[in-house]
Each structure stands twice: as structure tokens, then as C-alpha cells.
């Protein structure tokens, strides 16, 4: 990946709806060269998918929660079972297996507390290896950024 690839990725993370012509103009490539590079970035899996980001505020009431989960037993198969259940739940928007006292951190979005109770029953309490969990309810989302850090050549060679 070179400097032009990084510029393409940066622009696409800002606005994936850019036409190929507009993207080529921004990064200083011909449209055909730009399209070839973008297609290569897709084929190699660097670009996984392109999505539309929705405004939660425009969609109506919504609660965003950070849920810290502590498991009873440290067992790979039991962790994988929990992770599979969490990933299948539509309320779980992000799932992290973490180090330290906490085993998993889930980012959960629900319409109200009744929906969260249903989620807890279906996902958290349904796992007999779940020791306890703590829920942090977001009062305000001050920043939400989907962009991934793109390493430059100096960092890649270390």
C-alpha cells in the first residue's frame, strides 16, 4: 500500500459516495487508474464494505449502552459460545474480547429499557458462564468515528 492508496482510503472513509471521477480528481489520478486501485483494495479485503451511516437522533428514541461482561470460568469454548450468541444479537453493534478483569465489552443499542431487559434475558442471562455484567448508559454521544487508522510507510516498516 502506497501513499496514493492511503489517500484513496482516507477519502473513501470520509465519503464513500464520491463518484470515481471525483475521487480520482481529489487524489490526482486518472479515473481508470483510480478505479483499478479501488477494485484492488476491495479484492484484497482492505475495503470490506461500503455502508450508509444513519443519524440515530433522526430515527427516534434510542439508548446506547456499554456493557462490560465478566465470565465465570476462563475457558475458550465457553468464551466462543458467548461470543457467538453476542454476535447473533441485533442489539449488539460492537463486541470486543478484552484483557484485564473484564472479559467482553459490548456496545448495545436498544429502543428502550424493556428492549434492554429482553436483550439481557436472551443474551446475558442465557449464558450459564456469565458471572456478572455492568451496564453504562450513554447520556450523550460526543464523538462517533468509523474511520480506521491507516499506517504510513514509516509505521509499516517497524
CATH no. for residue 24?
A: 1.10.10.10
What is the pTM for the complete model shown? 0.81
Residue at 154 is within a domain? no
Full pLDDT tens readout for the chain, 158 residues: 899 999 999 999 999 999 999 999 999 999 999 999 999 999 999 999 988 888 877 888 889 999 999 999 999 999 999 999 999 999 999 999 999 999 999 999 999 999 999 999 999 999 999 999 999 999 988 888 888 888 776 555 44
Burial class (CB in 10 A: 0-12, 13-18, 19+), 56: middle
Q: Has residue 150 been placed in a domain?
A: no
pLDDT at 153: 61
Query: Residue 112 is part of a domain; what is its CATH number?
Result: 3.30.70.920
Residue 152 in any domain: the answer is no
Asked whether residue 146 is domain-assigned, the answer is no
Question: pLDDT tens for residues 54-76?
Answer: 887 788 888 999 999 999 999 99
Give a yes or no: residue 69 inside a domain: yes
The number of distinct structural domains making up the chain is 2
39: part of which helix (H) or strand (E)?
Answer: helix 31-43
Same domain (yes/no): 9, 21: yes
Q: Are strands 92-97 and 104-110 parallel, antiparallel or unpaired?
A: antiparallel
Domain range spanning residue 68?
56-137
Q: Domain check: are 15 and 82 in the same one?
A: no
- Give the per-residue pLDDT at 141: 85
Overall size of the chain counted in residues? 158
Kindly state whether residues 77 and 111 are assigned to the same domain: yes
pLDDT at 155: 53
Residue 140: the pLDDT is 87
118 Cβ contact list (under 8 Å, min separation 6): none
Asked if residue 102 and residue 65 are part of one domain, the reply reads: yes
Q: Are residues 8 and 27 in the same domain?
A: yes
Question: What is the rounded distance in angstroms from the CA atom of residue 100 to the CA atom of residue 17?
Answer: 40
Amino acid at each position: 500500500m502506497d501513499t496514493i492508496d492511503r489517500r484513496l482510503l482516507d477519502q473513501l472513509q470520509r465519503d464513500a459516495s464520491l463518484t470515481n471521477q471525483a475521487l480520482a480528481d481529489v487524489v490526482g489520478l486518472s479515473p481508470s487508474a483510480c478505479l483499478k486501485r479501488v477494485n484492488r483494495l476491495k479484492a484484497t479485503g482492505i475495503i470490506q464494505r461500503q455502508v450508509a451511516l444513519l443519524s440515530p437522533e433522526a430515527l427516534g428514541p434510542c439508548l446506547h449502552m456499554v456493557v462490560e461482561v465478566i465470565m465465570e470460568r476462563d475457558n475458550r469454548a465457553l468464551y466462543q459460545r458467548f461470543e457467538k450468541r453476542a454476535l447473533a444479537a441485533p442489539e449488539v453493534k460492537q463486541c470486543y474480547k478484552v484483557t484485564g478483569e473484564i472479559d467482553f465489552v459490548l456496545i448495545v443499542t436498544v429502543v428502550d429499557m424493556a428492549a434492554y431487559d429482553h436483550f439481557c434475558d436472551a443474551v446475558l442471562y442465557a449464558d450459564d458462564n456469565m458471572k456478572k455484567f455492568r451496564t453504562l448508559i450513554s447520556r450523550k454521544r460526543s464523538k462517533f468515528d468509523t474511520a480506521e487508522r491507516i499506517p504510513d510507510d514509516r509505521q509499516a516498516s517497524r
